[in-house]
Structure 1
Amino acid sequence: MGMESSAEAPQPVRAVLGAVGGWIERLGRIWVEGQIAELSRRGRMAYITLRDPVANVSVRVVCQRSVLDAQSPPPEAGARVVVHAKPDFYEVRGTFSLRALEIRHVGLGELLARLEQLRRTLTAEGLFDAARKRPLPFLPNTVGLVCGRDSAAERDVLENGRRRWPAVRFEVRPVAVQGDRAVREVTEALKELDAHPDVDVIVIARGGGSLEDLLPFSDEALVRAVAAAGTPVVSAIGHEQDAPLLDHVADVRASTPTDAAKRTVPDVGEQAQIIRELRDRARRVITGSLQREAAWLEGIRSRPALASPVREVDRLTEQVLELRDRARRSLTVSLDRAGDGLAHTRARLHALSPATTLARGYAIVRRDDGSVVRSAQETAPGETVSVRLAEGSVTAIVDGVRTDESEE
């Protein structure tokens, strides 16, 4: 319940602090997990700053040294612990702390179980999907490197990268790669390099270590920062058997810092060899094409039509002349046959012509009306008739009619 107060009847500080202390007192004992950020021993007491790596908040923990030393080995800065504590409020200073009754190391099995649970959660969110991973640039302008100060990982990346491509540039950000400061410093360096306009790829590297040493690289805050980065990230944490969550969210996972240098920086010798091979292959292709075209052209040139054009013209001229002669002979034969047929027709017509009959001594007798007299009985004495002869005609008067045929 709230304390009754007003501007005219305010509560004194001691009452407010007493009420706060009473409320906190009612919270009871609680188990708290975190990472030891700071640890100091003063006489019989130990003072700890317990940090939440994800939310980046901390709380003060006070305990007897005997509580801290009860663990073997005693926890040190950077260790993950579980604290059984009672909330405490110091009214004189108005400060909140936890009074530790028991401190335990987080066991390896428990750590692995929590990491597995975190991995499943992030996988379900799609942070590890292959579809969201970006390809590395072929030739980065500048490589950002996050690593321990003067570490072997830094030397491996720099030496191998410059050996492969001497002109490559590096932006190095030395950070703590283990302990309570590692997550914060690595995350800040990552964001700084991601905002750098010249950095095309970022390498996060450190050498091998125990599971506890590599825990910062499985921190949820760091994993989400890598997922949100706009620059491709290469993870080179530990050795081949090490697999922090950073390896799953990074765009490329390198087995070692040396492997990271090989993946991010192309080898100038290898690229020159590839260029030579491609150049030789292109030369062979072009040479082969030119040879095929030259052979085709030579074959075309060897054809009679191109080898001796006049000969082809002469051949065609001979064909034309031959066709002309054949046409002429065919026409002549046709005309001769037509002439013979016409002569035969003329002979038949001549044989059947009345004129031919008249030429043999016959005549054609016609009346005045032009009708032909076919029988002597068709005429009468005194009738005038016209007699057509082979040459000319005469007019006669019928003197008499005889029907006998004794005389021709």
Structure 2
Amino acid sequence: MSNAPSAPDSPWPVREVNSKVKGWIERLGHLWVEGQLTQVNMKPNWKLSYLTLRDTEAEASVQITCPTNLVRNSPTPLRDGDRVVVYGKPAFYAGRGSFSLWVTQIRPVGIGELLARVEMLRKSLAGEGLFDPARKKRLPYLPQCVGLITGRGSAAERDVLSVARDRWPEVQFKVINTAVQGATAVPQILDALRQLDDDPGVDVIIIARGGGSVEDLLPFSEEALQRAVAAARTPVVSAIGHEPDTPILDNVADLRAATPTDAAKRVVPDVLEERALIAEARARAAAALRGWVQRERQGLASIRSRPVMADPTTPLRRRREEVRQAVGMIRRDVTHLLQQEQSQVASLRAQVAALGPSATLARGYAVVQVVPRDGSDPEVVTTISQTPPGSQLRIRVADGSITAAGMSATPAD
């Protein structure tokens, strides 16, 4: 075998390519692989049997070659759709350029083990919050277009379409038929879900199946489907119709319906009920409007019957009379107050006159003042020392004043 790199001038022959690929593949050694059988080709007179093992969550498969005795002596007959674990070694047949697994052990996966795995996955997804009601999307009140993923010609499809159209004939459906059990179910459902979720005209998606055995419902508990439903932008309704063992899809979907019929009823409103509600609402609105008009009419009639409406100037006249009375009272109070103040002023004036010097002078007394030589203001004479001989005096009497000169001063005895 040549180790030289391939080139346009020195290409490898097919046998050498196959030989190198065989060497690379056989380095993998023995492997345990789990999947679902989709084809079991076995005849008693064959030395070898050929099976196909498909991935349960993706469009991927691998051919299996095993001794016929291994299939014939299996504790339970191997059928298409069985979940199995196989032990084998990757093999590449250089002559044909084909790949397969050379299997020496095939172990069916029991339903108990599968259900245990489902419960472990259920707990794991619940821990991630995929079941949290807060993340679930509300369904539209009146969907214009409903996406439906279900089996071709199934009773679930007929039930959803007939019930929905009986309730609301105008509703539109976009139906995608897929496998709803077996190895191809999950990939096909994932592809249909992706198409409907990408369609802006689809308002809600229903995934429906009319019940079945526990094994038949296993695709609706596969992890890939749960994560796709959780990531979908469009609300998803689970309508699997199997009560004893609920698939995980019921927990992840935005709404769980007990049956496909129940899903149609919960997604599409009943036109008769809605029209009845509209008629009732219109009747209540009309009654309320009529009542309001009647109350307003009664209010207007009451207002028109009041005296003020018969003669609108009556309040003005009343207010004018009130103003006139108020002005008269104000004038009376002001006059009375002025009289009181005038009387008080006269009384104070009389008191001032009685206590002042004018009254004393009128009885014959006089006030003697000396005029200082420096020209300052006159001073009242209260002692003879203020008036030495020659002092200029001013004598004030009741009707005027007299200017005199001091001749002499005689002290009192």
Q: Same fold (TM over 0.5)?
A: yes
The aligned counterpart of 2:184 is 181
- Once residues 13 and 324 of structure 1 are traced to their aligned partners in structure 2, the CA distance between those partners, rounded to angstroms, is 129
Deviation by residue 1:51-76 (Cα, 9 ceiling, x = unmatched): 11234321111223332243454121
> Shift of residue 244 of structure 1?
1.9
> Shift of residue 334 of structure 1?
8.1
Deviation larger for 133-142 or 309-318 = 309-318
- Once residues 52 and 247 of structure 2 are traced to their aligned partners in structure 1, the CA distance between those partners, rounded to angstroms, is 26
> Shift of residue 324 of structure 1?
5.8
Task: Say if 1:145 and 1:204, in contact at 8 Å, map to a contact too.
Answer: yes
State the SS of the aligned residue for 1:199.
Answer: coil
Task: Say if 1:145 and 1:172, in contact at 8 Å, map to a contact too.
Answer: yes
The aligned counterpart of 1:390 is none
Task: Say if 2:241 and 2:257, in contact at 8 Å, map to a contact too.
Answer: no
1:38 matches 2:39 = yes
Aligned pairs, number: 358
Question: CA distance change for structure 1 residues 343 and 61 in 2, over 3 Å: closer, same or farther?
Answer: closer
> Shift of residue 322 of structure 1?
4.3
Question: CA distance change for structure 1 residues 333 and 79 in 2, over 3 Å: closer, same or farther?
Answer: closer
- Once residues 339 and 11 of structure 2 are traced to their aligned partners in structure 1, the CA distance between those partners, rounded to angstroms, is 151
Among candidates 243, 247, 258, match of residue 246 of structure 2: 243
Deviation larger for 178-187 or 15-24 = 15-24
Deviation by residue 1:313-346 (Cα, 9 ceiling, x = unmatched): 443444455456656777887899999999999x
- Once residues 236 and 130 of structure 1 are traced to their aligned partners in structure 2, the CA distance between those partners, rounded to angstroms, is 18
Deviation larger for 40-49 or 279-288 = 279-288
State the SS of the aligned residue for 2:225.
Answer: helix
Deviation larger for 188-197 or 335-344 = 335-344
Question: CA distance change for structure 1 residues 315 and 100 in 2, over 3 Å: closer, same or farther?
Answer: same
The aligned counterpart of 1:384 is none
- Once residues 324 and 257 of structure 2 are traced to their aligned partners in structure 1, the CA distance between those partners, rounded to angstroms, is 87
Percent of aligned pairs with the same amino acid: 53
- Once residues 161 and 238 of structure 1 are traced to their aligned partners in structure 2, the CA distance between those partners, rounded to angstroms, is 17
Deviation by residue 1:295-319 (Cα, 9 ceiling, x = unmatched): 6656655666556544434434444
1:215 matches 2:215 = no
Among candidates 58, 76, 81, match of residue 78 of structure 1: 81
Question: Which structure would you say has the larger Rg?
Answer: 1
Among candidates 220, 226, 231, match of residue 229 of structure 2: 226
- Once residues 22 and 340 of structure 1 are traced to their aligned partners in structure 2, the CA distance between those partners, rounded to angstroms, is 141
The aligned counterpart of 1:145 is 148
Question: CA distance change for structure 1 residues 324 and 85 in 2, over 3 Å: closer, same or farther?
Answer: closer
Task: Say if 1:122 and 1:128, in contact at 8 Å, map to a contact too.
Answer: yes
Deviation by residue 1:101-144 (Cα, 9 ceiling, x = unmatched): 23222112211232233334444555444444322222222212
- Once residues 201 and 17 of structure 2 are traced to their aligned partners in structure 1, the CA distance between those partners, rounded to angstroms, is 55
Task: Say if 1:304 and 1:312, in contact at 8 Å, map to a contact too.
Answer: no
Q: Amino acid of the residue matched to residue 231 of structure 1?
A: T
Deviation larger for 98-107 or 329-338 = 329-338
Q: Amino acid of the residue matched to residue 166 of structure 1?
A: P
Task: Say if 1:62 and 1:98, in contact at 8 Å, map to a contact too.
Answer: yes
Unaligned runs of 5+ in 2: 354-413
The aligned counterpart of 1:88 is 91
1:50 matches 2:53 = yes
Task: Say if 1:77 and 1:180, in contact at 8 Å, map to a contact too.
Answer: no
- Once residues 344 and 51 of structure 2 are traced to their aligned partners in structure 1, the CA distance between those partners, rounded to angstroms, is 141
Q: Amino acid of the residue matched to residue 36 of structure 2?
A: Q
Alignment of 1:384-403 (within 5 A): none
> Shift of residue 14 of structure 1?
5.4
The aligned counterpart of 2:113 is 110
- Once residues 64 and 340 of structure 2 are traced to their aligned partners in structure 1, the CA distance between those partners, rounded to angstroms, is 139
The aligned counterpart of 1:277 is 280
Unaligned runs of 5+ in 1: 350-408
Alignment of 1:4-23 (within 5 A): 4-5=3-4, 17=18, 21=22
> Shift of residue 181 of structure 1?
2.2
State the SS of the aligned residue for 2:32.
Answer: strand
Q: Amino acid of the residue matched to residue 40 of structure 2?
A: L
Task: Say if 1:144 and 1:193, in contact at 8 Å, map to a contact too.
Answer: yes
Question: CA distance change for structure 1 residues 5 and 317 in 2, over 3 Å: closer, same or farther?
Answer: closer
When normalised by structure 1's length, the TM-score is: 0.71
> Shift of residue 206 of structure 1?
0.7
Deviation larger for 270-279 or 307-316 = 307-316
- Once residues 342 and 21 of structure 2 are traced to their aligned partners in structure 1, the CA distance between those partners, rounded to angstroms, is 147
When normalised by structure 2's length, the TM-score is: 0.70
> Shift of residue 278 of structure 1?
2.7
RMSD between aligned residues: 4.4
Task: Say if 1:208 and 1:242, in contact at 8 Å, map to a contact too.
Answer: no
Q: Amino acid of the residue matched to residue 34 of structure 1?
A: G
Question: CA distance change for structure 1 residues 21 and 243 in 2, over 3 Å: closer, same or farther?
Answer: same
Q: Amino acid of the residue matched to residue 194 of structure 2?
A: K
Q: Amino acid of the residue matched to residue 234 of structure 2?
A: T
Deviation by residue 1:227-254 (Cα, 9 ceiling, x = unmatched): 4433322221133344223223322222
Task: Say if 1:5 and 1:11, in contact at 8 Å, map to a contact too.
Answer: no
- Once residues 128 and 19 of structure 1 are traced to their aligned partners in structure 2, the CA distance between those partners, rounded to angstroms, is 50
- Once residues 137 and 49 of structure 1 are traced to their aligned partners in structure 2, the CA distance between those partners, rounded to angstroms, is 43
1:190 matches 2:193 = yes
The aligned counterpart of 1:365 is none
Task: Say if 1:240 and 1:255, in contact at 8 Å, map to a contact too.
Answer: yes
State the SS of the aligned residue for 2:203.
Answer: strand
Task: Say if 1:226 and 1:233, in contact at 8 Å, map to a contact too.
Answer: yes
